[in-house]
């Protein structure tokens, strides 16, 4: 039931990691929007594995086939459906895991929920691979948002305890923000990039993994988007970013750092800049009362260290009572934070475009 | 539009801070559930102001009148509607703020969204007072959850930079968890309570305010609740906690602290405890793949420092171009974290009961 | 769960016939819409009983108290909530019916659904009285629709086997359409009115009741409203008119009369009338593919004969096995069709305004 | 937006008549349900054209490929997605219609709604071909319903003015009901079948088409399904049957025939039949107050005469002002009522199973 989301626009995500195909249906996009498929593919490539020395060597082609909703590359008002065939599957990578649930994965909870009938191969419907359809939907929304003057940029805020430099989001530089999407490691501070690479390499060498924090910034939003109580921008974005498997937290503006701030420090003073009312600081992340203020919308998500590690781990057998020992084989990312960056952008784009359609 | 939430159960929240009444409609509660109105009132009192030296001296009576859904105190299957009349309104406290938006409040964004037609008095529909109906709904759900063996306890994780002790949520003590609801400052560490009081008093003396973090823990949940992708427990809880005005972030289990953990450290090893499969640690906060694992469900929310402070602040006039200076008068909390605690419990109870109804 | 409807606008209906109050919350109405409460009251009076020799002599005052959403009679963007206290309750009219389900009423099904915990008095939440809140919501939508040039008129198509004259809905006269709302029996043919009155009186004298058909016509709609498949105008209107207890069918345009038409007869030929594309006939009732064509939107609903009749009826005891004989006492309408007319208009107005907000 | 429906279960329908593929995603089906694909294919064949002398000679293969949700033919809890490639397309059949909207089709309204960007070929997303995915979803639900002892049978109530015999739905014969699905023309009265065939043949010879009424009967439903006000069985079924393009009306039980019935005639008297409470007649079609009574659920839908007729018709050019004359070429059904029968069953099955999941 949870794989279809219905709001002003609607999104259905389907498929299992090692099934026939994965895909998505996006409904509610107005007719007449040209979709640049090359640009979309470039966006998907940012998520795909095997593109960097930092990620798994598995190659997922992730070329969507559009089977509905486009006529000559232009939306026709019908739901947009795209599928990606699952070709490059090496099931042996996952062979003996079906009876031993991997710690921190959904193997155990999927087993309980679906009474053992879940697709056990490669994480099934719970696999991170299901973020590919999310990125198709998000990539489409991003293209349309740009026509409304709304742009989204995302940087790695931290990996382990290595932080990128802190950004004054009240005065963001558009060019440097948009330049992030072209970087292998999207950070503002080049020194941070180098240290982060080392951190990730160290995790790999130790058969371990490492987490991090991603900060996403949307500029050009008009004031007034979002609805009070249950459908504010925070509610909407939060609901969508938790569709990405490894996300375990989200905060807006100063977020958790607001806990030890005083009101006099956290409050963003209003001032007039010509015709516009702006705030001097942006601790509220461009959202007040759930509604956009016109300042950059800023949120962070935390990505847990990827659970698939090479180290020996304690687990159980689902079918018998003696303790199990698990050693995961195969090609896995030591750090999925870089690949999660476009997924976060996708979720943000969908949430923002949906609010814009209200 | 955002003030009605429809899922397995549905919740409508209505009213403005200084309007005739505020209230809520909760639909989908099965017939035959006895609601203990005294117990509910005790729960609401935890949210009400004026009960502690730490909060504003405004007295809000907050006694709901049930006008639908109960027959002799038992649910009859019809929607449950309760209203609270707004009696103790001192409008003068808010008198000259209508043209000067208060920093960090929704005054400005509500003005833009509603073209100046919003109810300007006391924050209107955006007021924190609207958490009273949320607590009515949550208090009802809490009572029903207890009949299913599910209990929720909440402590103040930190105020400013003062932290309560860290809890091993994999091995939580039920009695100490449930004892929290009886404390003026719900913390596990009595020393922390004393220091926190001083912190809050200091903020008040400085005409300032202070934020904090709340940690909520639900025990007794069966494994298997929640749905993948968009309707996982994290998506659901996040969407509901952001209905509380001052919440600016939410994380689950280790949450943002997972950023600098290794996978080998963060992964929760499975083991068998008699018939049950448990995990040794609970860094995932009882949720894997969006689905409950049967371990305690744990999440934190950050509460920003309350924006209503006595200090002089910079702002603008909505109607004219010269800069404005704002000094908020009246009775305001220097720290709303303690009063937010039952609101968080309410949101959690609604989300969990909704998932249980699936 | 079914008492809250969420679409572009949302509607929550609450209360039981003999409970404290009934009411509604309407969310999603833009701020800045003036609501003429006298005009609304006049609309509600058309539904209220006791206004005509043709209906029950019970007097329901049905004066709503607005407790949320209006500031000086103008919408403020917050949800609009209005309640009607239940004052004029003569419970003795319903006294011994609680154990004997009334045929054709919801007594039995409510009992099964709610395990005997349903509010048994006066039909509880299933009572026709719950159409009063529907009319509050619809009356508000009607006022806003008129500002968009959209007007709704409704006539009694038939009572028993007495029919009003057939209308050429492709060429409807606006004045005669809008005049209907001022009639005790809204029909185009005055002769029909006289015969219908006799029919209803005869039913009353026989301690019986009689059904009928209502035809609702909306003019001024732009072409292009509605969505394909599940959210066409037919889906939307149908879903809402079945919220009215006695409705047992709905059809659009020629509707059931299309069954024995040929395509060459039923197809509505297009032609140009100046700038507008119109159709010569309107057998499709202004809807093609679920989308409005710009022609008058026309639909009929059938109202079953009111089940509360004075004649002796066969039934059962819920609590024991011997057969029951039921004779309903009290003041009941022999024909609710005239009072259902504004309810149908209300449902249509809500559905159309919702589609307009898309 | 309207092509995704979200309730207890969810359904997304996508594709255009002459696009790459059509298909559906059905979410919320529990894991562990075996789907008999041969049985499903047999069900789909009942809808497919070219199977009978009575329908168009176009051959649509309509063999779905399941790309998600099944593991070895058993549901795994992930959304079920199936697609049908569009192979047998003869675009020339539709060649010059793009500028001349076909009367009674959605060509004109789709053009207005989508600003000319709609897929014009073969009706695009508005085509009757989109009922194939509806039947996939419905066919799956039918199989699961049967495991709950719920069976659905459907007969042609009338074609033109030729009626099948009237059925006493309070005492339906299960075998004869289920035998309907094997008939080319599903009627109870063999004489009616012969006359109907002649009627359809006559329509074809006259380059015309003819409408009809379908009656659908579901047996084995428990009492208590459905929700009051907006989510009663009537609201739910109505919303779904209007997803079928040619449906212009729906009624329940006696439906429109209740208009000239007296209450004493229409009311269904309760009696006890052993442990069960039943009604002597079934004029309410198994639904009271929106809730199932346990009696057979009965509803009728009217199918308008198919708009694609060979006769010359009046229309307009969308791009220029002079009047147009249209003569539709190609292979079209003179009567789509027989092919609509399984579509109605599919819609009913989805609505009923959804209510059962509540």
pLDDT of residue C181: 96
Are D21 and A66 in contact (CB < 8 Å)? no
pLDDT tier at A98 (50, 70, 90 boundaries)? confident
Integer Cα distance of B143 and B34 in angstroms? 9
Q: Give the residue on D whose Cα is nearest the Cα of C3.
A: D229
Which of C6, C72, C109, C117 should be substituted to probe chain B, the one whose Cβ sees the most B Cβ atoms within 10 Å? C117
- Nearest by CB to B108, from A249, A263, A277: name it: A277
Residue D159, min C-alpha distance to chain C (Å): 7
Q: Which residues of chain D make contact with C293, given a CB cutoff of 8 A?
A: 108-109
Integer Cα distance of D138 and D134 in angstroms? 6
- Nearest by CB to A68, from D16, D31, D114: name it: D16
Instruction: List, as one string, the DSSP characters of D80-138.
Output: EEEEEE-----GGGGGGGSSSPPTTSSHHHHHHHTTT-S--GGGGGGSGGGHHHHHHHH
At C129, is the secondary structure helix, strand, or coil?
helix
Those residues with Cβ within 8 angstroms of residue D174's Cβ, 6 or more apart along the chain or in another chain? D151, D219
Asked if residues B149 and B221 have their Cβ atoms less than 8 Å apart, the reply is no
Kindly tell me the sign of the dihedral angle through the C-alpha atoms of B112, B115, B116, B119: negative
Comparing A85-94, B128-137, B287-296, D294-303, the range with the smallest average pLDDT is A85-94
- Nearest by CB to D19, from A2, A67, A118: name it: A67
* pLDDT tens string B121-142: 999 999 999 999 999 999 999 9
pLDDT of residue D73: 97
- Is residue A190 scored above 80 in pLDDT? yes
Q: Which residues of chain B make contact with C8, given a CB cutoff of 8 A?
A: 1
Q: Complex ipTM, two decimals?
A: 0.96
Q: Which residues of chain C make contact with B15, given a CB cutoff of 8 A?
A: 67-68, 78-79, 81
Copy the structure tokens of residue D114: 């989508």
Over residues B258-274, the mean pLDDT reads 97
Q: Give the residue on B whose Cα is nearest the Cα of A224.
A: B113
Report the candidate in D108, D97, D208 with the shortest Cα–Cα distance to residue C263.
Answer: D208
Are C19 and B74 in contact (CB < 8 Å)? no
Residue D83, min C-alpha distance to chain C (Å): 17
C positions 178-207 inside 8 Å of D (CB): 203, 206
- Nearest by CB to C316, from D234, D271, D293: name it: D271
Integer Cα distance of D217 and D168 in angstroms? 11
By the CB < 8 Å criterion, does B41 face chain C?
no
Asked if residues D210 and D203 have their Cβ atoms less than 8 Å apart, the reply is yes
pLDDT of residue A87: 82
Q: Which residues of chain C make contact with D158, given a CB cutoff of 8 A?
A: 259-260
Mean pLDDT of all residues belonging to chain C:
94
- Nearest by CB to D77, from A27, A69, A114: name it: A114
pLDDT tier at A301 (50, 70, 90 boundaries)? very high
Copy the structure tokens of residue C351: 């559905």
Are C21 and B67 in contact (CB < 8 Å)? yes
Residue C97: phi and psi, rounded to 5, are -85, -10
Which of B10, B11, B12, B87 should be substituted to probe chain C, the one whose Cβ sees the most C Cβ atoms within 10 Å? B12
- Is residue B50 scored above 70 in pLDDT? no
Residue D29, min C-alpha distance to chain C (Å): 19
Are A117 and D76 in contact (CB < 8 Å)? yes
pLDDT of residue B1: 74
pLDDT of residue A155: 98
Cα C152–chain centre separation: 13
pLDDT of residue B332: 81
pLDDT of residue D134: 98
pLDDT of residue D282: 98
Integer Cα distance of A29 and A12 in angstroms? 13
Asked if residues D26 and D80 have their Cβ atoms less than 8 Å apart, the reply is yes
- Is residue B57 scored above 70 in pLDDT? no
Instruction: List, as one string, the DSSP characters of D154-183.
Output: EEEEEETTEEPPPP-GGG--HHHHHHGGG-
- Is residue B60 scored above 80 in pLDDT? no
* pLDDT tens string A143-182: 999 999 999 999 999 999 999 999 999 999 999 999 999 9
Are D31 and A117 in contact (CB < 8 Å)? yes
Q: Which residues of chain A make contact with B231, given a CB cutoff of 8 A?
A: 1-2
Cα A3–chain centre separation: 16
Over residues B311-333, the mean pLDDT reads 92
pLDDT of residue A48: 87
Comparing B87-91, B222-226, D213-217, the range with the smallest average pLDDT is B87-91
Q: How far is CA C111 from CA B31, C4, D250, in A?
A: 10, 21, 27
- Nearest by CB to B109, from A235, A293, A305: name it: A293
Residues counted in chain A: 358
Q: Give the residue on A whose Cα is nearest the Cα of D73.
A: A117
The pTM (predicted TM-score) of the whole model is: 0.97
pLDDT of residue D53: 65
Q: Is A21 exposed, middle or buried (0-12, 13-18, 19+ CB in 10 A)?
A: buried
Are A235 and B2 in contact (CB < 8 Å)? yes
Q: Give the residue on C whose Cα is nearest the Cα of B110.
A: C77
pLDDT tier at B351 (50, 70, 90 boundaries)? very high
pLDDT of residue A53: 65
pLDDT of residue B49: 79
Q: Tokens 């059809």, residue? A: C251
By the CB < 8 Å criterion, does A27 face chain D?
yes
Those residues with Cβ within 8 angstroms of residue B135's Cβ, 6 or more apart along the chain or in another chain? B43, B44, B47, B342, B343, B346
pLDDT tier at A1 (50, 70, 90 boundaries)? confident
Comparing A171-180, B90-99, C15-24, the range with the smallest average pLDDT is B90-99
Integer Cα distance of A251 and A234 in angstroms? 8
D positions 260-289 inside 8 Å of C (CB): 260-272, 277, 279-280, 283-285, 287-289
pLDDT of residue B53: 65
Residue D156, min C-alpha distance to chain C (Å): 11
Comparing A320-334, C11-25, C140-154, C287-301, the range with the smallest average pLDDT is A320-334
* pLDDT averages per 10-residue partition of chain D, 358 residues: 94 97 98 98 90 60 93 98 84 64 97 96 95 98 98 98 94 95 95 96 96 98 98 98 98 98 98 96 98 98 97 96 91 92 98 96
Q: Which residues of chain C make contact with B98, given a CB cutoff of 8 A?
A: none
By the CB < 8 Å criterion, does D111 face chain A?
no
By the CB < 8 Å criterion, does D110 face chain A?
yes
């Amino acid at each position: 039931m949870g794989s279809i989301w219905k709001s002003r626009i609607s999104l259905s995500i389907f498929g299992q990691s090692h099934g026939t195909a994965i895909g998505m249906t996006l409904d509610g996009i107005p007719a007449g929007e040209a979709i640049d498929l090359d640009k979309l593919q470039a966006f998907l490539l940012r998520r795909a594995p095997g593109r960097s020395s930092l990620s798994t060597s598995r190659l997922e082609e992730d070329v969507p086939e559009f089977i509905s909703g486009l006529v000559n590359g232009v939306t026709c008002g019908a739901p947009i459906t795209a599928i990606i065939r699952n070709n490059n599957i090496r099931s042996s990578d996952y062979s003996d895991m079906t009876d031993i649930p991997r710690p921190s994965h959904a193997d155990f909870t999927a087993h309980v929920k679906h009474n053992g009938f879940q697709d056990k191969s490669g994480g099934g419907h719970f696999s991170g691979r299901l973020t590919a359809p999310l990125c198709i939907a998000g990539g489409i929304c991003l293209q349309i948002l740009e026509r409304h003057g709304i742009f989204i940029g995302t940087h790695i805020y931290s990996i382990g305890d290595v932080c990128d430099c802190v950004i004054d989001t009240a005065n963001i530089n558009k060019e440097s923000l948009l330049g992030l999407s072209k970087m292998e490691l999207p950070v503002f501070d080049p020194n941070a990039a180098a240290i982060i690479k080392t951190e990730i390499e160290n995790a790999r060498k130790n058969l371990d993994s490492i987490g991090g924090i991603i900060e996403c910034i949307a500029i050009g939003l008009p004031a007034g988007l979002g609805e009070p109580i249950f459908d504010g921008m925070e509610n909407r974005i939060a609901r969508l970013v938790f569709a990405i498997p490894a996300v375990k937290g989200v905060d807006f503006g100063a977020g958790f750092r607001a806990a030890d701030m005083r009101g006099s420090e956290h409050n963003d003073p209003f001032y007039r800049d010509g015709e516009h009312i702006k705030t001097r600081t942006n601790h509220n992340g461009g959202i007040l009362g759930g509604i956009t203020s016109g300042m950059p919308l800023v949120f962070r998500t935390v990505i847990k260290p990827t659970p698939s590690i090479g180290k020996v781990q304690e687990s159980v057998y689902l079918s018998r009572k003696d303790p199990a020992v698990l050693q995961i084989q195969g090609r896995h990312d030591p750090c999925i934070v870089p690949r999660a960056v476009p997924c976060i952008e996708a979720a943000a784009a969908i949430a923002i475009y949906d609010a814009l359609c209200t």
